[in-house]
Every structure is written in structure tokens, then in C-alpha cells.
Structure 1
């Protein structure tokens, strides 16, 4: 080693000895960073392992592997199998996927997709359900508190006695009523695998339950069924002033009988024949009161407010109440207790080669804010 190399090495060693604290600190910082990063990696690996375990559990369920988009779920396949062949035709794993109904007669609840299709069909028969506020209830009845008397204040003098006042509160109780029907299906039809039995039953039950609901929500008398909008005595009426027809003045009168808050959110409800007569009405300058919608999917309007066609509303005639106007969403409440429960009975009609399917639903409904709605009543002869 020459003199210059030896000198350079001595200088490097001297510098390293002088910078020893800085080197140790750098190494410590690198070690801490490495340990922190390793902890993050371990956490991420654990999360990925948990996700993989969850996916494996789902794939190990009966029928869960290789299910394509739109293919029925195991619950739906089991329900269709139950409809066609009964519980005894199902494998043990398929029976476990069926949800037992909460009624004492047994039976199984339809899977989620089946029930959703039923509610979508109901709107075609019961437009009140589409306009009112709909919720679910977990008991046989639900009580809604409401204020029946407001606080009343007065102007007073400087040393005048202040008046005493207090609000009053009551409650509206809505009871869940039951409706039921049955459909008899031939065993040969059940055995036909090319037919979507679940869809056919869904339509049949929706048609019957929708008819019952639509009628009760409008003219129900409250006896084993909801109390309808027209039969509720707490809903105010406005006289039409004519015993044979509806006039523009009568429509304006019933519209402005509502407070502005409800009027601005209001809608008309009447049946088809009444709509046919209303569409002919004009104002004083010859303009039609009825206006068709200019936007697809939007309802037509009468005096600027939307129109709901309800088949159960009465025709225009002496002594009838053919038109309702108001904020139906605020005025009327619908509570579903049991969406749909189906009981399969292959024994009663066995000698006729048929199987009976009995369906039931429980629903409660009532007017909760009569001040938000008005009825237009035709004068008697």
C-alpha cells in the first residue's frame, strides 16, 4: 500500500468514527421503518385471508358454486322445488334454506325475489299503495301519537295576567288485518319444468291481493279490513253544488280547501269514467283544465296537480264522492305485517290430481292526517 492510499484509508476511518452517532441513528430509523412496514403487511395478509375464508364459506353452500348472473339463488330453487313437489322432494340442505313462516299453520315464506315481484305487481291494482306512505310493523297493531290540541297564546299587557294553555295529545291505532286466498294447480302442470310456476303463482296472488287492497284502501269499512279514505268520517268533504256533474268551480273549491302546504303536494284521485268527463272541462277562455304530461313517465295534471286513476273510486252521480284531492302520502299510512306466506297442500285434492296453495298476507292501513286531504261530494237529487 502506498503512502497516498494509506492516508486516504486513515482519513475515511477517522470520518466514520466521527459520524458514528449519525450512522447508528440512521440504522435505528431504518429498523423502525422496516418493523412498521412488516406490521402493515401482516395486517393486510390477515385481511386477505379473512376475505378468502368468507368466500370459501359462501362457495361451500349448496348450489353456490359456478352460479351465473341472473341464475336463481339456492333459496329460490328450494322454494320452486317445494312448490312443485313438496318438502319431501327436497334434499336436506335445500330444506334448510326455506324460511318458516310465523303462523301457527306452518308453511314457508317465499324467498326475497318472489316477494319483491309480488309488491311490484300490487301497484298495478292498488294505486293507493304507490301514493301513500308504506312501512312495516313488527306487531299486530301500531299506535301513532298525534297532537289533538295546539298551544294557544294571546297578546297581553305589561302587568296583565298570562293565560294558561297546554297541548293535548292522542293516538291513532292501526291494526294488521289478514287476507287470504288459494290456488289449485294440476299436478301435471307442476311437473312441467318448462313453466315458471313461481311467476305464475306470483301473478295470481298479486291480482287477488291487489284487488282486495285497492278496494279496502278506498272504501273499506274497517270490519276485518282497513278503513278507506272515502269511508273515514274524519276526512272533511266539500260540496260540489251540482247533482249531475262536476264543474270547474267545484274542483277549484276542493283544491283550495286545503292548507297551502298540503295543496302544493296534493294529487287528484278518481276512476276512469270520471277522468273521461273531467278531461272535457274548460276554463272561461276555452282552455282545458286537464293537461297531458310532456315527459314520459310523469302523470297528467288537473289544475296543475298530478292525477291518480283508482278503479275503486265511484262514478260521478248524485250523492257520491267520486274525487279525492290532497297530500295522500301525508294523509294515509300502510303497514305490512306479513308479506307473503304460502302453504302447500297436496292431500285435499289428491283424488282430482291437483295441489292447493294457500297464500296469506297481513296489512294495516288508516288515515292518520285527515287535514291533509279533502273529498268532493256530489249533491243529492
Structure 2
């Protein structure tokens, strides 16, 4: 199978087809694995030419670039199909009648009828002004939006997620750890020194999306309007969240882990993230595997066992070429559809908001993000129906409040491409 065929098949798989999603996923995964085998063969040829001639052939490098593009195309196709398979059908399946709250919400979304929601006391004004009020969505839709965000937002899927009812989550921690000691069963318990406590704060910020619908879509009783809203806002929310959790500056958005200061790991202190330098500005250096091993073992054992690599596709494209001393590839493709690739035995999470490799860039993160990063969701998603601003379309101003930041500075390390 040549490179052009792989690219064409990947693009064709994105078009609507009559075969089942499961068959699409299986075919896309087979194409992905076929592309990777083709990639390994070409890379082996490239390495053999470098060893034989002292440099790579231009035609071989161009061939590698084309195959690399095909491989990324196949991965994007597979990811899109997996998300599509996870979504429920938009049609109204099932015979169970919706409850009164969902009936009232459906009436509000379709016809602007607020009476049912008012009677259910679901009116909730925003924190800004009463004029920007809206209605809380039913719990089922709130949960569905949260589930879909976990599938689409890479950092949310690996971080700790907490639900709060207030505007800010405050988390105390001991600067020097908790005072402890060993005692016998009947020994007196001496008073421990008072721990020095500090506080981390995670404010929630407003995130919004505004999908538009035509009158025919809204009036079509066969369309699951709740599922449609969830599908429309999921991509917008996930894109904004993904960027904020990585590079957000904390101003009206969550604070990303790359926004915190980083120091050489030998000089690490609380409040900073430790980094390992590659030894070469904007490059991996002479032995990439050594730098990756140093990054992995910069974490304590308790964090390392749950460690994951986080990087974007371009960085992965470079790592896919690397081998260890025994000639084995460091990067391993996923074992099955829906699973993650691995690097030196640890899962790789693709986050497109991670920076490309450049001078002094922190393009690879490794850590236990479940302990290291905290996502804070304020309960409730609100919707305001607006049939006036964009006539003849109806806008659905959908808002949720979300925050985030590093909660354990020991649990995340960075690979910095610096001398």
C-alpha cells in the first residue's frame, strides 16, 4: 500500500458511509497499523543509508515525511470515529417517557415556553447581572456534556476533576508535610509541631458557546434537542479548555501547567515545576533516549507508576523515529482501537496545545496528572434561548464555569529543549 493510498483512504473514511461505526473503527485502526509498519520500514532504510553513506538521502527523507503525514491522518480519522462511536444517537430512542423537568426544558428550548421551568424553580441568574439569566439544563444533559468533554479534552481526561457549588475551591496544604511519628500501643502521644499551612485557590471562570439552530430543526420532534445541544457545545468547550489547561494564564480562564515557573529539577522547590534540559537548544541532543529516561526518573516512584507523557503530534512525529540501543522503537502504537500509544512503556496523551519543539520550549511533560493537575467544575450548565439577535436563527447561549491549576508541583516534570 503506497503513501498516497493511505492518505486517500483516511480522507475517504471521514465521509458518511452506510457501514457501521464499529466496522469503520476497525478499518481505520488496520490502516493506521499498516501505515506504521510502512513507516518503520522506511525509517530503517533511512538509518541504514545514514550509517552507510554518513548522511540521509533526500528522496528517502521526503518519503518519510509523506508517510508521517499519512500516519497522522490515519490517527486523526481513528480519533474522530472513536468519538463518533461514543456519542448516543440523536434520534429519540427508547420508550421511557421523559420526566417533568426534561419536558419543561424541551418546551423552553423548542418554543421558548418558560412556564414549566419557572414552576420547577429552575431559574438561575448568572453571577454578572440578572439580565443575563438562564435556565439550568437537566442533570442528564449536564452529565452528558461533562462525559463528552472528558473524551475530547486531553488534560481533563487525565486530571482530577472536582465539582463545586461555589465560585472558588480552596485547598490547604502543609509546606513541610504532616508531622508524624512511631509510638507503642500504650505510649503517650507527644504533641507534634504545628504544621505550616498554605492555601491553593482555584477560581472558576465562565466558558460559553452559542450554537445556532433553524426553526425546522427545533420544531422537528424526531430530533433529540438535548443531544444536539451537547454535540454542538462539546467541541467548542473542549477546544477552549484544552488550551487553557496547558497554557492558560489564569486571567478569566484556568491556569495551565506550562504557565507556572519551571526550574532545573536539581533546584526544584514547591511552587515551581522541575524540568530536565535536553542539552541542545531546540533539539533532543545526541542521545534522546537518555533524556527521556532522565525525565521519567525525575519523578518519585509513587508518581511515576501512574506517569503519562503529554505532547503534540509534531513532537510525536520526531519521537517515532527513535530507537534504543537494541534497535527497538521507543514509541509503540496502540494495541487496539481506543487505546493510547506508549513511549518507553508509558502512555502518550496528545495535546495539540503543547508547544512545538523550539529553542527553550517545554514541549514534553511527564507526570501523574491525576495528582498533579486539578480541574474544577461548578455544578450546572445554563442555557439562555435567544430568538432575536440573529433572526431567523435561534441562538442558545450556553455557559459553564470551570477552573484549573497545578495542585501538586512534585507530580509533573517537563523536558526543556535547551542547552
Partner residue, 2:393: 354
Question: Deviation string for 1:242-262 (max 9, x for gaps)?
Answer: 224331111111111111111
TM-superposed CA distance for 1:95, in Å, is: 5.4
Cα contact 2:151–2:157 (8 A) shared by 1 = no
Cα contact 1:150–1:166 (8 A) shared by 2 = no
TM-superposed CA distance for 1:139, in Å, is: 1.3
The yes-or-no answer on 1:118 pairing with 2:156 is: no
What is the alpha-carbon distance in structure 1 between the residues aligned to residue 116 and residue 211 of structure 2? 28
Distance 1:270 1:132, change over 3 A: same
Report the count of equivalent residues.
299
Cα contact 1:177–1:362 (8 A) shared by 2 = yes
What is the alpha-carbon distance in structure 2 between the residues aligned to residue 338 and residue 215 of structure 1? 22
Would you identify which runs of 4 or more consecutive aligned residues in structure 1 move more than 6 Å? none
Q: Which residue of 168, 175, 200 corresponds with 2:196? A: 168
Partner residue, 1:379: 418
Larger radius of gyration: 1
Partner residue, 1:241: 279
Equivalent residues in 2 for 1:137-216, closer than 5 Å: 137-150=164-177, 167-216=195-244
Partner residue, 1:86: 112
Partner residue, 1:100: 123
Q: What secondary structure, in the 3-state scheme, does the structure 1 residue paired with 2:211 have?
A: strand
Question: Deviation string for 1:19-61 (max 9, x for gaps)?
Answer: xxxxxxxxxxxxxxxxxxxxxxxxxxxxxxxxxxxxxxxxxxx
Gap regions ≥5 residues in structure 2: 1-92, 181-191, 262-271
TM-superposed CA distance for 1:361, in Å, is: 0.8
TM-score after normalising by structure 2: 0.66
TM-score after normalising by structure 1: 0.72
Question: Deviation string for 1:90-117 (max 9, x for gaps)?
Answer: xx55753472224233321111221222
Partner residue, 1:38: none
Q: Which residue of 314, 318, 330 corresponds with 1:277? A: 318
Cα contact 2:282–2:360 (8 A) shared by 1 = no
CA RMSD of aligned residues (A): 2.5
TM-superposed CA distance for 1:212, in Å, is: 0.9
Gap regions ≥5 residues in structure 1: 1-66, 154-163
Distance 1:224 1:99, change over 3 A: same
Distance 1:290 1:201, change over 3 A: same
Q: What secondary structure, in the 3-state scheme, does the structure 2 residue paired with 1:123 have?
A: helix
Partner residue, 2:291: 250
TM-superposed CA distance for 1:356, in Å, is: 2.0
Q: What secondary structure, in the 3-state scheme, does the structure 2 residue paired with 1:371 have?
A: coil
Q: What secondary structure, in the 3-state scheme, does the structure 2 residue paired with 1:344 have?
A: strand
Cα contact 1:134–1:335 (8 A) shared by 2 = yes
What is the alpha-carbon distance in structure 2 between the residues aligned to residue 179 and residue 222 of structure 1? 13
What is the alpha-carbon distance in structure 2 between the residues aligned to residue 68 and residue 292 of structure 1? 38
What is the alpha-carbon distance in structure 1 between the residues aligned to residue 395 and residue 334 of structure 2? 45
What is the alpha-carbon distance in structure 1 between the residues aligned to residue 300 and residue 342 of structure 2? 20
Partner residue, 1:160: none
What is the alpha-carbon distance in structure 2 between the residues aligned to residue 94 and residue 254 of structure 1? 54
